[in-house]
Structure 1
Amino acid sequence: MPATLTRQTLKELLAVKQTPCLSLFQPTHRSFPEREQDPIRYKHLVRQLEDALKAQGYGDTTELLKPFKALVDSVDFWNFNRDGLAIFGAPGYFQIFRLPRPVPELAVANDRMHVKPLLRIAQSSDRYQILAVTLEAITLYEGNRDGISEVQLVEGVPKTIQDALGHDLTEKTQSGFPQGYSRASERGDSMQLEAGGAGRQAEVDRDRERFFREIDRAVLEHYSRPSGLPLILAGLPEHQAVFRRLTHNEHLLPTGIENDPSLMKPDQLREKSWAVMQPVYLKRLSGFIDQYGESHGQGLATDQIEEIGHSIVEGRVATLLVEAERAIPGQTDPSQGKAMPASEQSANTPDLLDELTVWAFEHGGDVVVVPKERMPTQTGVAALYRY
């Protein structure tokens, strides 16, 4: 099953020491007939990996490439495309990420994983999740300003009320408790409430609360805390009220989508969710931009690339702002924090912004990808210092 893109999964990728490390990136398509070309392009990229391994002197690569090649003819795999695909392999290691944004086609065989495109996506400020709740089931989505995709829930996250409550779920034919008695009959009241009365309604309400508690716990544990993404609740107003009273999820936004999500088309859900998320996104970006202006005046921020490189490896950079979609070719040396723009470039010349992003991540700094129109500097990068 594809992994969730989080800081922890990125750290795990960077920690892989077995060589060779294989990294494959590919834009993919959600709908037919565009997605028909995706496995063909993928097969071509796998062949590039194989050629790169041979050129580097590796002998038998059958086992190393076996999991890559197994996906070529997997109909189920290609039926669940998002906008991009990233696959990583090494001896004894294989991991897949489905991405919410397109990535350039790339096949790299090296002594470490090529994670830069993932870092840019993972640190984008417009990502969020949607928890769509009804009385019967839930659906989790992840998205950004451009689109949303359903998240395939991991084991341990109940999809339906039956999954969550099992045999403790009140039967539809009984009047109250699982034993078949209503509260009134247990008290010996002369006027008992039959099926559909207040006794049964109390049990339905109790089941709903238990279901929502289980969902809240599982989503928080498996998705919200690992990803750190804002969570938007979609559900009827009465369900919103109950869920918000019970939740412990600190990532849940105070504003939700007060509609029955089962009756909404994906485009409607995306439109309404972005209307909720956009003010949060803009406020967060404004906070970083304001902080940069204040810190720069105090000598605690800079936009000079070479200075930023040295500061990152010294552990001084708390937050790195990187301009989205921009590339600056240059020369780098991570051991010395050297990052200098290059007057000449070739196909192998590294992108300084990608290099600085990786360095900041490895040294414990936060990275925020900022749209060009909101970037506070002209150099494509800005650093906020710890001291």
Structure 2
Amino acid sequence: MRDLVKDRIVFATDFSPLLPDRTASPAASVYLPLHGGDDGFYHDRILLGNLVAEAKKQLTAAFGKRSFASLAETLEYIVANPAEIVGDKGVRGLGVLATNEQACVYRLPFPVEPRVQVGETFFLKPLLRDFQYGSRYVLLGLSADRFAFIRGSFTSLDRAVLPVGTDDQFSELYPLEYDGRPALDYTTLEGHMSPYHNYRSRDDVRKEESEKFFRYVGETVSKHLMPACEVPVVLVALPEHQALFRRVADIGCLLDEGIEQNVDELSTAELLADAAAVIGRAREARASSLIKDYANRRAHGGSTDDAAEIGMALVERKVRALFVEEGRELPGTFDEATGKVSHETKADHGERGDLAGSDLADALAQAALRQGGDVYVLAASDMPTKSGAAALFRY
């Protein structure tokens, strides 16, 4: 039984593959802040147990005889095995989205308010920061004779395994010849004196061989490693390599700002901190640009803060970016099939006033994410409108 329950738990990092707009069974959304340390962990475990007990209470009140036994078993397993569920010490918040069939666990790099909501849909608002542009990115570590592809998040870096047959070193790619002559890889080049190849200087040979290798890296990244280019790419390379690579390679999602250091000389902590700084500035710039577009296109129907218009735009799949005010709830519902928006208060739901789905902003954000739109959770002072939600259209 333990293994059966454990098999229902998925540690999720992405949005769309796991979360339907509506579930076939009752759904529970549980959020827990994590404080770290032995004392913090002890209190977090008690709070998690209280939240799960509240979830079962709400499920009983809302769904009566409808079965949620498997869901309850999964939540109880999570309470009984918190160390396994939390994992990395860098995790500062936990999100659990559970049904009878599956539980998606999100390990978050930021704290969340403790919260329980149950219903026929999940409540995602506390997770939105983890789905924003830049929460997932790629570092392209590049030197004169090798490259690495590293996937990153707020809290971790993982070196990607290259496809079979993909060379990541110059000496592997060009082992035998250069312009019809025996090739010298960069280790060999640095150990000899000029002249090389038709009596050209070592610098000339280095530049030509770098350009050849960098073209190969650019083509490999674009064609094989990131065909959809759905996340930003940060180039980690020395300044002279940055300039040459950007001149010869065409990667649409490569950020203008890179990390101008040799990737092999940075510790994981240093690289993670540098990447976070670059991504943070890129996100702010992107949001600022989209907000300007929102203002400029408002008069021509290219953006709106009217919830009903946002709903219809989502049905037409034309929302490019959705701005949601942080910490503000908009009571109401949204039908993703028809685009109908209903404004309500929690009192309108009676005893089910706290159920997921009553927050219109959350429902709109979920729909936008399912369509590949950008969602930005902004402070009230940064919002382009006072309505609590606003959308910029694709066209």
The question of a shared fold, defined as TM-score above 0.5 by the shorter chain, is answered with yes
The answer for the alignment partner of 1:13 in structure 2 is: 19
Q: Are 1:87 and 2:87 an aligned pair?
A: no
Q: Are 1:352 and 2:360 an aligned pair?
A: yes
Q: Which amino acid aligns with 1:372?
A: A
Q: Which amino acid aligns with 1:141?
A: G
1:336-380 deviation per Cα after TM superposition (whole angstroms, max 9, x unaligned): 824325496885273332234345556887654444223232222
Q: Which amino acid aligns with 2:325?
A: A
Is contact 2:323–2:389 with CA below 8 Å preserved after alignment?
Answer: yes
Give the whole-Å Cα distance in 1 for the aligned partners of 2:98 and 2:373. 26
Structure 1: gaps spanning 5 or more residues: 143-147, 188-192
Q: Aligned to 1:96, which of 105, 110, 113?
A: 105
1:151-208 deviation per Cα after TM superposition (whole angstroms, max 9, x unaligned): 4456x457xxx99648x8848xxxx9758x9999859xxxxx8994469998996777
Q: Are 1:250 and 2:261 an aligned pair?
A: no
Is contact 2:346–2:354 with CA below 8 Å preserved after alignment?
Answer: no
Give the whole-Å Cα distance in 2 for the aligned partners of 1:276 and 1:320. 16
The answer for the alignment partner of 2:41 in structure 1 is: 36
Q: Are 1:73 and 2:76 an aligned pair?
A: no
The answer for the alignment partner of 1:106 in structure 2 is: 115
Number of residue equivalences: 352
Is contact 2:311–2:334 with CA below 8 Å preserved after alignment?
Answer: no
Identity value in percent = 22
Q: Mark the CA change 1:338 to 1:129 in structure 2 (over 3 Å): closer, same or farther.
A: closer
The answer for the alignment partner of 1:325 in structure 2 is: 326
Structure 1 position 126, deviation (Å)? 6.6
Q: Which amino acid aligns with 1:73?
A: A
- Output the TM-score relative to the length of structure 1: 0.66
Structure 2: gaps spanning 5 or more residues: 1-9
Q: Which amino acid aligns with 1:322?
A: F
Structure 1 position 220, deviation (Å)? 1.7
The answer for the alignment partner of 1:234 in structure 2 is: 236
The answer for the alignment partner of 2:4 in structure 1 is: none
Is contact 1:22–1:107 with CA below 8 Å preserved after alignment?
Answer: yes
Is contact 1:323–1:380 with CA below 8 Å preserved after alignment?
Answer: yes
Q: Which amino acid aligns with 2:78?
A: F
Give the whole-Å Cα distance in 2 for the aligned partners of 1:333 and 1:276. 31
Q: Mark the CA change 1:16 to 1:219 in structure 2 (over 3 Å): closer, same or farther.
A: farther
Q: Are 1:139 and 2:139 an aligned pair?
A: no
Give the whole-Å Cα distance in 1 for the aligned partners of 2:23 and 2:285. 41
Q: Which amino acid aligns with 1:240?
A: Q
Is contact 2:138–2:149 with CA below 8 Å preserved after alignment?
Answer: no
Q: Mark the CA change 1:107 to 1:204 in structure 2 (over 3 Å): closer, same or farther.
A: farther
The answer for the alignment partner of 2:266 in structure 1 is: 263
Q: Mark the CA change 1:133 to 1:355 in structure 2 (over 3 Å): closer, same or farther.
A: same
Mapping for residues 186-225 of structure 1, pairs under 5 Å: 196-197=191-192, 214=220, 219-221=225-227, 225=229
Q: Aligned to 2:384, which of 373, 376, 381?
A: 376
The answer for the alignment partner of 2:340 in structure 1 is: 337
Q: Are 1:279 and 2:282 an aligned pair?
A: no
